[in-house]
Amino acid sequence: MSHCDDEALAALALGEPVDASDAAHVASCERCAHEVAELRDLQATLVDAGAAGPLVAPPDGVWAAIDAQVASEAEAAPGSVVPLTAGRRPRRVPDRTFAGWVVGAAAAVGVVIGGVGVALALRDGGPQQQLVAEAALADLATEADAGTARVERRDDGTEVLVVDTAYAPADDGSLEVWLIDPEVVGMVSLGFLTGDHAEFEIPAGYDVASFPIVDISVEPADGDPTHSGDSITRGILEG
């Protein structure tokens, strides 16, 4: 069996979008799912450590080693969005550069867990977040409460969709997160849900006023990038 590479596992652990085939593999592979869980535990540990007190800047040699590792391993092209065309919806290509940075940083500083190296750069304060809109999510089958979604604007102007919901892997596919317009015609995929909490950067040009519907669907690994029509969770963002 061919397992997911380190970059895909790191991206899943951090809530970054990945290829549908990688998400489907982790959902069915005990080994890869275990590694993703360990990476999430490490992330929580490092974040807690940063919250416990002020962080001390590492020696210059550490960052030099990280830069050298990233230069050799990170893929060059960032994610992009395909323009909306009739009968198709725009799809964001997974950005492996960030995941590659995480794996490269781990290799440089020697942090290894479950065979996958991961390091998180912790900064005092971090980026400021401004709440733009929020939505209550509902289970479409039962109309029961299914968590929340909110859009936050960072201090650099980018917007992020934050999803908190009870995650359960789908038996016949992966869970994909979308923003959809009120006519349910235009839509953009933000990535795949792999845990109870996930954050997705919203591509430039898409705003909650034009795409207020948060939708989670079951997407089979069939190579078709369009929406399957099998939505399981939905909510409407309100500012």
| Lowest-pLDDT choice from 19-33, 44-58, 120-134, 199-213 | 44-58
When mean pLDDT is compared over 48-57, 124-133, 203-212, the highest value belongs to 203-212
- Residues 54, 58, 60, 64: is their CA dihedral positive or negative? negative
Write down the pLDDT at residue 167: 94
Contact 89, 227 (CB under 8 A): yes
Q: Report d(CA 238, CA 175) in Å as an integer.
A: 23
For the domain spanning 129-236, the CATH number is: 2.60.40
Average pLDDT of the chain is: 73
What pLDDT band is residue 13 in, cutting at 50, 70 and 90?
Answer: confident
| Lowest-pLDDT choice from 87-96, 119-128, 223-232 | 87-96
Considering only residues 105 and 180, tell me which one the structure prediction assigns the higher pLDDT.
Answer: 180
Write down the pLDDT at residue 69: 57
Contact 165, 147 (CB under 8 A): yes
Q: Report d(CA 174, CA 179) in Å as an integer.
A: 17
Q: Report d(CA 17, CA 185) in Å as an integer.
A: 22
- Angle, in degrees to the nearest 10, between helices 30-51 and 20-28: 100
* 159 token code pair: 């917007």
User: String of b and e for 132-160 (b: at least 16 CB within 10 Å)?
Assistant: bbbbebbbbeeeeebbebbbbbeeeeebb
Q: Which residues pair with 3 in a beta bridge?
A: none
Domain ranges of the chain: 6-117, 129-236
Which tens digit of pLDDT belongs to each residue from 2-12? 787 888 888 77
What pLDDT band is residue 62 in, cutting at 50, 70 and 90?
Answer: low
* 183 token code pair: 């006519």
Helix (H) or strand (E) holding 217: strand 213-219
Which tens digit of pLDDT belongs to each residue from 146-175? 999 999 999 999 999 999 999 999 988 999
Q: Could you please report the per-residue DSSP string of 105-170?
A: HHHHHT-EETTEE------SS---EEEEEEEEEEETTT--EEEEEEEEEETTS-EEEEEE------
Flag whether the pTM goes above 0.85. no
* 125 token code pair: 């304060």
Q: What mean pLDDT comes out for the span 18-30?
A: 80
pLDDT at 47 over 80: no
Rg (CA), the chain: 18
Q: Quick one: DSSP state of residue 238?
A: B
Considering only residues 110 and 227, tell me which one the structure prediction assigns the higher pLDDT.
Answer: 227
pLDDT at 231 over 80: yes
Which tens digit of pLDDT belongs to each residue from 67-113? 565 555 544 433 433 333 333 333 333 333 334 434 444 444 343 33
